[in-house]
Each structure stands twice: as structure tokens, then as C-alpha cells.
């Protein structure tokens, strides 16, 4: 994500309002150092974020942010369609976002089953004890239902083999570049 942002966008050169959902402490510190960014990190449980918030009801006015980053969060959220709608709502017209989820390319349709509640069952079925679904090929449609124009970008394909190896990105997958026009 950082390679993409640094090389392909103006995130670190323009004055932008950035919402980062489900960030890490390292990334929160990194983004906070950039003076031109009005950077806000948010998560429901992490103590280091700037705003504790539920993704299904973000506490920001509509069209607040120029950029939204949401990487490996939606697979944890029961109401992902509502959460995607919130990301769309807080993004300004002309803004864009990077949304990444683990995808099962062999699945045409996302699999979810609300009866699977126990962490041990979720581990067995979804591959992680805190995941609530396995996204399939229909994920861009979920993003599109909220209003996003969606392109899938496998940025690792643009990197050299050495960069991929050095950064540990083999098999990392891509992300969805979502625009609000």
C-alpha cells in the first residue's frame, strides 16, 4: 500500500484529508508525521487510534475525506455492506479509497453464515477465528452497490521480483481502488 501511495498518488504531496480504518500503530505514526495530511485513524478496539468508532456508523459528516484506506477490516465486520456504505458516505465526491480483503479467487460468490459464531468454528470455516466471511468474485459488486466505481489493482505485479521478495509481498494480493464520482 505504501509503495502504491508513494509512487502512484499525490497523498504525500497534496493537502488531503485521509481516513484510515483498522490501521496499525506503526502506520498511524507514519501517516501522522506528514504535515500536509489531515490524517485520522479509526478502529473499534485498538487503543492507539485517534477516533474509536464502529465502521457501521462512523462519527464523521458526509463527504469529509479525500482518501479512505480500509485494509483487511471488512472480513471481520458482520454488517459489511452497511460499513461499505459508511466509507462511501464519508468520502467526498471526486475522492478515492483503497479497500483490501482476503479473496478466494475460486469462489464466485462470497460465503457467509451467521450461525457460525464460535471462534473455533470460524477458524475452521473462514480460516481465522475472527473472520465472518470468505469473499469471492462478487466483492466488487458489494462495493459498487454502495456507489463506488471499482478497479482491482494487483500492485505487486508492478514491482520487481527483488522488491516483492524484500518486502515479503509474495502472494499478498491486490486491492480495490474505489472512486466516488
What pLDDT sits at residue 38?
A: 96
Q: Which residues pair with 91 in a beta bridge?
A: 65
What pLDDT sits at residue 157?
A: 84
Q: Are 116 and 126 in contact (CB under 8 A)?
A: yes
Rounded distance, CA 8 to CA 140, Å? Answer: 22
pTM, two decimal places: 0.92
Total Cβ atoms within 10 A of residue 118: 9
Rounded distance, CA 69 to CA 18, Å? Answer: 8
Select from 142, 23, 54 the least CA-distant residue to 133.
142
Give every residue of the chain whose pLDDT is below 50, as ranges: none
Task: Please state the domain extents for the chain.
Answer: 2-101+138-162+175-179
- pLDDT digit string, tens, across residues 124-149: 999 999 999 999 999 999 999 999 99
Total Cβ atoms within 10 A of residue 151: 13
Q: How do 91-100 and 65-71 pair as beta strands?
A: parallel
CATH code of the domain made up of 2-101+138-162+175-179? 3.40.50.150
Q: Which residues pair with 128 in a beta bridge?
A: none
Rounded distance, CA 82 to CA 76, Å? Answer: 13
What pLDDT sits at residue 42?
A: 96
Contacts of 63 (CB under 8 A, 6+ apart): 89, 90, 91, 92, 93, 95
What pLDDT sits at residue 1?
A: 86
Rounded distance, CA 137 to CA 139, Å? Answer: 6
Rounded distance, CA 65 to CA 92, Å? Answer: 6
Helices (H), the chain: 2-8, 25-32, 80-90, 119-126, 139-145, 161-167
Amino acid at each position: 500500500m505504501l509503495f502504491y501511495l508513494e509512487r502512484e498518488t499525490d497523498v504525500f504531496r497534496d493537502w488531503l484529508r485521509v481516513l484510515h480504518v483498522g490501521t496499525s500503530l506503526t502506520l498511524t505514526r507514519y501517516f501522522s508525521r506528514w504535515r500536509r495530511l489531515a490524517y485520522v485513524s479509526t478502529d473499534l478496539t485498538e487503543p492507539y487510534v485517534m477516533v474509536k468508532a464502529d465502521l457501521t456508523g462512523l462519527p464523521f459528516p458526509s463527504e469529509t475525506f479525500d482518501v479512505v484506506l480500509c485494509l483487511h477490516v471488512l472480513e471481520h465486520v458482520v454488517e459489511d455492506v452497511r460499513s461499505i456504505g459508511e466509507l462511501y458516505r464519508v468520502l467526498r465526491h471526486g475522492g478515492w479509497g483503497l479497500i483490501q480483503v482476503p479473496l478466494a479467487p475460486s469462489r464466485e460468490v462470497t460465503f457467509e453464515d451467521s450461525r457460525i459464531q464460535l471462534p473455533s468454528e470460524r477458524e475452521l470455516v473462514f480460516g481465522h477465528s475472527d473472520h465472518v466471511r470468505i469473499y469471492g468474485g462478487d466483492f466488487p459488486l458489494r462495493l459498487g452497490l454502495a456507489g463506488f466505481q471499482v478497479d482491482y489493482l494487483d500492485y505487486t505485479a508492478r514491482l520487481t521480483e527483488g522488491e516483492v521478495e524484500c518486502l515479503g509481498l509474495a502472494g499478498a494480493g491486490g486491492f480495490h481502488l474505489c472512486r466516488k464520482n
